[in-house]
Structure 1
Amino acid sequence: MENRIQEWAERLLRAEETRIPTNPLTVEWPEVDIPTAYNIQLKMLEQKLARGQKVVGMKIGLTSKAMQQMLGVHEPDYGHVLDSMVVFEGEPVSLSRLIQPRVEAEVAFVLRERLCGPGVTVADVLRATAGVMPSLEIIDSRVKDWKIKIQDTIADNASSAAIVLGGALMPVDGLDLRLLGLALEKDGQVVATGAGAAVLGHPAAAVAWLANAIARYNLSLEPGMVVLSGSLTQAVAVEPGTVIHATFDRLGSVSARFVE
């Protein structure tokens, strides 16, 4: 089992580095379960940390009922955000480092206190949050043609590739994140709208779920971490020249420009 976990971690890392996607994990290893998929993700993480990269946050995926139903699951998943994945707003995003990218708009939480499950609640998350920011997550799959099941995306760091953070940190006091509106534009045209309630009913509920889920692996959310709480809309495909702009009610906006 351990050898197979190591093999898949290396295959997914190689696919990321070469931009040549691999066959689905669930096709070649049909009996693989969710805990094993997370162990593959952690094995990949170990190798990246050994190369000098650092964990700066985490991301939550599959927070909408529609996506959960599509993959036949009843809860979200998560991945790690490394310093190498952070793109500064205004810096062009090169598609040469990606395979089949899409973009999602999310509320990013910046923590000032540690969150350690089990038993973390929405109230705990709000108390521990220094503020929230508009963000874009650039998702990508190292699996051919996005032919993924839940185990495939979990092993592949929840299909995460990069994040872009907006410039303003907004305190959560007085904000009802459930009612937070979003307009997502591609090349100046609105392609999707959403609200915070699309994320497990409340974006902070997603962060609470994450803190409790990672406790199974003796992990916790640490002060200073950035946590992307999940997409408010469907993901948008991008091409060279695409500009994505997300405007959040009361939070401000964030944008990304894609180049070859």
Structure 2
Amino acid sequence: MDDNKIRQYGDELYDALVQRKTLAPLTEREPEITIDDAYRIQLRFIERRVDSGERIVGKKIGVTSKPIQDYLGVFQPDFGQLTSAMVYQEGDTVDLDGLIQPKAEAELAFVLKEDLQGPGLTAMDVIRATDYVAPCFEIVDSRIRDWKILIQDTIADNASCGVYVLGDCKADPRELDITLAGMVLEKNGELFSTGVGAAVQGSPANAVAWLANTLGELGIPFKAGEVILSGSQSNLVPIADGDELVCTVGGLGSCTVRFRGRSAV
């Protein structure tokens, strides 16, 4: 795909974000679009966000667990960039008025204390470079109409990033079995789903190592202080005004998020 089209689609996705609207799937408009094309579009989309004053604060890994893959019909992981405009903290209320067609998922966040650059990294390298892990929610959001996405669509759309909520509970991953630790997700006081770290590529640390190695081949490091979202351990949760979600990770603690307002769709 030529540079003009890369810029065009990246700019369209940025405009859709700002205007809270959706676009027809890129894979319908450009049937020959490749994964490399999609990542170049993502870079243009992120460039527009950074130019508007946002900062890169981390990375996210998407489509790592079988329930999410089955739901979306996307069967390989991808990644996107986290920016300063996406950040919520424990106790904050997420304003749905700023989102388009959001859904929530619960996962484990890694906060790094050291730079980390692949290729050749293992899960143990990730553990050693991690300051702490915390339960979190990612509120995914798609600029692609009706979530009708193939892998190229979600990659171009910054891996369907919306916002994320980082829990206050922290643990040293050297002292917590993140592979076997169970996760319970409740919606409005009722059980919604359960999960376990092993559902994410065998371990959340494996998923983070995969991304560090993938980016390392491109010369892109993880930086100390960055937040890395390791991939959903829950089913996607529909959300609306007044909803409250709580995810609890065994041996770690919980993260709570509330929602208000109305999304565009």
TM-score for the superposition, normalised by structure 2: 0.95
Once the two structures are TM-superposed, the CA of residue 65 in structure 1 deviates from its matched residue by: 3.6
What is the CA distance between 1:168 and its match in structure 2? 2.3
Judging changes above 3 Å, is the alpha-carbon distance between structure 1 residues 35 and 110 closer, same or farther for their aligned structure 2 residues?
same
Give the length in aligned residue pairs: 260
Correspondence for 2:113: 112
Partner of 1:135: 136
Give the match for residue 223 of structure 2: 222
Q: List gaps (5 residues or longer) in structure 1.
A: none
Is the partner of 2:16 in helix, strand or coil?
helix
Unaligned 5+ residue runs, structure 2? none
> Which residue type is aligned with residue 44 of structure 1?
F
One-letter identity of the residue aligned with 1:150: I
Does the CA contact (< 8 Å) of 1:71 and 1:150 recur in 2? no
Residue of structure 2 equivalent to 1:183: 184
**SS of corresponding position for 2:214:** helix
What residue identity is the alignment partner of 1:35? D
What aligned pairs does 1:24-35 form with structure 2 within 5 A after superposition? 24-35=25-36
Q: Structure 2 CA distance, aligned partners of 1:167 and 1:67?
A: 26
Question: Aligned-pair RMSD on alpha carbons?
Answer: 1.3
Single out whichever of 29-38 and 57-66 deviates more from structure 2: 57-66
Indicate the residue corresponding to 2:9 in structure 1.
8
Instruction: Quote the Cα distance in structure 1 between the aligned partners of 2:157 and 2:138.
Output: 15
1:217 Cα deviation from its structure 2 partner: 2.7
Q: Residues 115-160 of structure 1: CA distance to partner in whole angstroms, max 9, x if unpaired?
A: 1111110111011111100100000100000000000000001001
Equivalent pairs: percent with the same residue?
47
> What are the Cα deviations for residues 30-88 of structure 1, in whole angstroms up to 9, with x where unaligned?
10000110111111111211222111111101112454466666531001110110012
Equivalent position SS for 1:84:
helix
Is this contact kept in 1: 2:6–2:41, CA < 8 A? yes
Residue of structure 1 equivalent to 2:255:
254
Work out the CA distance in 1 between the residues paired with 2:225 and 2:154.
26
Distance 1:71 1:255, change over 3 A: closer
Q: Is structure 2 residue 61 aligned with structure 1 residue 60?
A: yes
Distance in 2 between the 1:71 and 1:241 partners? 26
